[in-house]
Structure 1
């Protein structure tokens, strides 16, 4: 292979029967939800479309989406009749004669587009709907494609479906001499799906290995960077919500207005995080639906010396009087300020740390002035963290060909909400793990 061949992009034709997920595979490999047109109707792709994978401005792989093969049985019969008396053409020569004839522009127009692209490519990815039975038309497709004389890598799509027939396809492919294949579900690909596919290609195209390895390395680097950025986005959401405070008069009307304002602020901030995560993973805003944070009614902490607060404070102060102020402040933060700084004040007096008393005296002053401070409950912060974590996991295994919306809820939301407030038994649709779901923590403030 020449030096020019080493620097040019590897050309890969994505081929297969109509409606097996060729365009879906391209969407997932390129991370582009808008590539091509995906539909349950057959023959959606009518022309060859291309996409390029580059690293640092250098093109490494050119992918070509081709129309679906529709009548391989008739095409194979036609090809076998093209040999003239006394001649025996090999596969590429027979296809060349077919492409020069009128049938390539009429009856077999779509198949001719596929053959031209595969002949001009370095290799082909033969996409298989693993849910389909192994039929004669698929065997004939493989026979026609093999006559191009190009390496073929079968890609088993939709292997996440319960009704897949992977063992049957493996056996059928091995009988046709195709022992190297890759499992790649374009809707729910494994995290290392791209790596496996390119490593399998490297076995068929040894000269292309350096470029494929570079692409693998770059995609791994991008994946790690996305995870780091996603963790930062979620951390910023939690910090912002934990720091969100509303100081209000102690009238019923203003209290309710404050609760609603906090609800709205938390919902909006969570939605900002959701949209940022979707953008980070190159999905659309409408790819996920969010339910409201459950039980956003909150509670007002009127009791300056709540028994549970005192119990917690007693445990924390048990190490000695000198630790009193620090322990009290910790309690005050742990219970969301329900103690209004009383724990810290008592601890400060016991430990002689008057500066701590000054820091928390403002809350007591707010109590005397008839004002309250509304903050986000710890249960809601846990809920936010788990919902975003659930979304992050879903994004990590979602292919860009997926068309169903993700639900930003988890299965235990309703159960845990009922555990905290058995009377609030409103239905809540859900997927995997959530925590306490009581929503706003309301504390007295200055």
Structure 2
């Protein structure tokens, strides 16, 4: 074991046009080289710093030219020790086939400088159909360094069972290759940071013992940075949800209670329509929905920046149904008798209404039972007192907030999986197994979330300190659920944590 700082070099090698430079951009978190659908885009090996520690350790990544004619390349390297072979490799190939010559130079550089080879394969092909793999394994044998095989071009993230089956298929095919130490999934377009942690652990295990202390320090530095990004992401989500949960929009008083009730019934369940003349409730609904849209956009932009990506955050397209709104209408005592004469109720209804915190107009039920139980004028006073407000206001229902918690974690997963090699961040379809994993991970937190929604302060005016307090309470719940989701999606990473 050594405490001296060390430099560890990883070389990214693959058949031409499999996506090495794209994956290199994802791992490095910045643009390098040129990415396009053409062979031999990377002409020479390019070395880039990947990670450093305060102790001076360096992890660097070499992006190499893609293998074209692997069989011919293996034959040329076997001839390299003879005079004719030297002439062909160093003179003839240089002037007659520059791409072929560059591949040879890159392989020699890899052999002389590399500690671990990252060999990238196209997982969209079956191992048996990828005939170039056997010839390239011969080339890797000539290099003589430990090899970690990475499965690229996996497509959209899939559930753990399907991914494990894909890994096992390639592992069996390469089982006879003594230099292959591990087979891992790592798609350049849709990898997650926890998968990078598994890769670094595999690199550490493949290194000779003298180099492992330096790699362990590099892994610890990487983990600290990723954990900081994770914590900051949870802060962004919690702050956004707190602002949404405590959003209040005043409803114009209009022509009184009866007119307001008619407006609500007419507009309940219908989408907001652009243009045209809108009533006070519709205007308030639109303002609340626009505030939510801004919050989603701003929060997504912050997540993108935290993860070293670029791009315009596309706000989620939300169904703006009136049932998403929590409508609190002030009951005017002079008009309460009108409603009291129409709606009657019983004490059981009164209990149900008080349990919701006041006079609730929504969810398909008009809580007029309170009026029937206490009388019109008395009910009006109680409703105003329970609400603690002298004006009508609009806010989000608790069940909508539960849905927004799910949506927030799905947004986090989308950003955390976005490979830098894809270029600018853009919204994509959610893999079908993600929503279920999120719901399962949030199940243990639902009771605590419900308590937070129920404890929201009443009234139209909300202080910044109240938003901060709710965000502070939400953050550990979100973090626990997000970690649970990642463990469900990547059980291999969980095994890595428990064995560390």
TM-score, normalised to structure 2, is 0.63
| Residue 314 of structure 1: aligned partner | 351
Is contact 1:16-1:127 (8 Å) kept? Answer: yes
Once residues 13 and 357 of structure 1 are traced to their aligned partners in structure 2, the CA distance between those partners, rounded to angstroms, is 70
Once residues 194 and 60 of structure 1 are traced to their aligned partners in structure 2, the CA distance between those partners, rounded to angstroms, is 17
Is contact 1:154-1:182 (8 Å) kept? Answer: yes
Is contact 1:15-1:68 (8 Å) kept? Answer: yes
Is contact 1:309-1:331 (8 Å) kept? Answer: no
| Residue 440 of structure 1: aligned partner | none
| Residue 147 of structure 2: aligned partner | 152
Query: Deviation digits for residues 246-281 of structure 1, max 9, x if unmatched?
Result: 224233644332222222112101211111122222
Query: Deviation digits for residues 302-341 of structure 1, max 9, x if unmatched?
Result: 585898997575269xxxxxxxxxx77x7249989x989x
| Residue 185 of structure 1: aligned partner | 186
| Residue 64 of structure 2: aligned partner | 66
Is contact 1:390-1:408 (8 Å) kept? Answer: no
Cα displacement (A) at 1:29: 2.5
Once residues 138 and 361 of structure 1 are traced to their aligned partners in structure 2, the CA distance between those partners, rounded to angstroms, is 70
Cα displacement (A) at 1:48: 3.0
Name which of 278, 290, 293 aligns with 1:267.
293
Is 1:378–2:375 an aligned residue pair?
no
Cα displacement (A) at 1:199: 2.5
Query: Deviation digits for residues 357-410 of structure 1, max 9, x if unmatched?
Result: 9975863x43xxxxx322233333223222111112334444444578444779
Alignment of 1:43-442 (within 5 A): 43-52=40-49, 53-56=51-54, 58-84=56-82, 100-104=90-94, 106-107=96-97, 108-118=100-110, 119-132=112-125, 133-134=127-128, 135-158=130-153, 166-167=167-168, 169-186=170-187, 187-189=189-191, 192-206=194-208, 207-251=210-254, 253-286=279-312, 290-295=316-321, 298=325, 300-302=327-329, 304=331, 311=348, 314=351, 331-332=357-358, 363=389, 365-366=390-391, 372-401=392-421, 405-407=426-428
Is contact 2:414-2:430 (8 Å) kept? Answer: no
| Residue 427 of structure 1: aligned partner | none
TM-score, normalised to structure 1, is 0.69
Cα displacement (A) at 1:97: 7.1
Once residues 15 and 27 of structure 2 are traced to their aligned partners in structure 1, the CA distance between those partners, rounded to angstroms, is 19
**What secondary structure, in the 3-state scheme, does the structure 2 residue paired with 1:58 have?**
coil
Once residues 410 and 197 of structure 1 are traced to their aligned partners in structure 2, the CA distance between those partners, rounded to angstroms, is 23
List alignment gaps of at least 5 residues for structure 2: 255-277, 332-339, 443-457, 462-500
Is contact 2:357-2:386 (8 Å) kept? Answer: no
Structure in which a larger fraction of residues adopt helix:
2
**284 and 333 in structure 1: CA distance in 2 versus 1, 3 angstrom threshold:** farther
Once residues 431 and 395 of structure 2 are traced to their aligned partners in structure 1, the CA distance between those partners, rounded to angstroms, is 24
Query: Deviation digits for residues 195-218 of structure 1, max 9, x if unmatched?
Result: 332232223322221122122222
How many positions carry a matched residue from both structures?
385
| Residue 23 of structure 1: aligned partner | 21
**What secondary structure, in the 3-state scheme, does the structure 1 residue paired with 2:150 have?**
strand
Cα displacement (A) at 1:295: 1.6
Once residues 123 and 345 of structure 2 are traced to their aligned partners in structure 1, the CA distance between those partners, rounded to angstroms, is 58
Is contact 2:23-2:421 (8 Å) kept? Answer: yes
**273 and 314 in structure 1: CA distance in 2 versus 1, 3 angstrom threshold:** same
Is contact 1:291-1:408 (8 Å) kept? Answer: no
| Residue 426 of structure 1: aligned partner | none
**255 and 185 in structure 1: CA distance in 2 versus 1, 3 angstrom threshold:** same
Of the structure 1 ranges 50-59 and 154-163, higher mean CA displacement relative to structure 2 is found in: 154-163
Once residues 226 and 236 of structure 2 are traced to their aligned partners in structure 1, the CA distance between those partners, rounded to angstroms, is 15
Cα displacement (A) at 1:124: 2.0
**411 and 126 in structure 1: CA distance in 2 versus 1, 3 angstrom threshold:** closer
Cα displacement (A) at 1:15: 1.0
Cα displacement (A) at 1:98: 6.3
Taking only aligned residues, the RMSD between alpha carbons, in angstroms, comes to 4.5
**What secondary structure, in the 3-state scheme, does the structure 2 residue paired with 1:250 have?**
coil
**334 and 7 in structure 1: CA distance in 2 versus 1, 3 angstrom threshold:** farther
Once residues 70 and 11 of structure 2 are traced to their aligned partners in structure 1, the CA distance between those partners, rounded to angstroms, is 17
Cα displacement (A) at 1:20: 1.9
**What secondary structure, in the 3-state scheme, does the structure 2 residue paired with 1:271 have?**
helix
Cα displacement (A) at 1:69: 1.0
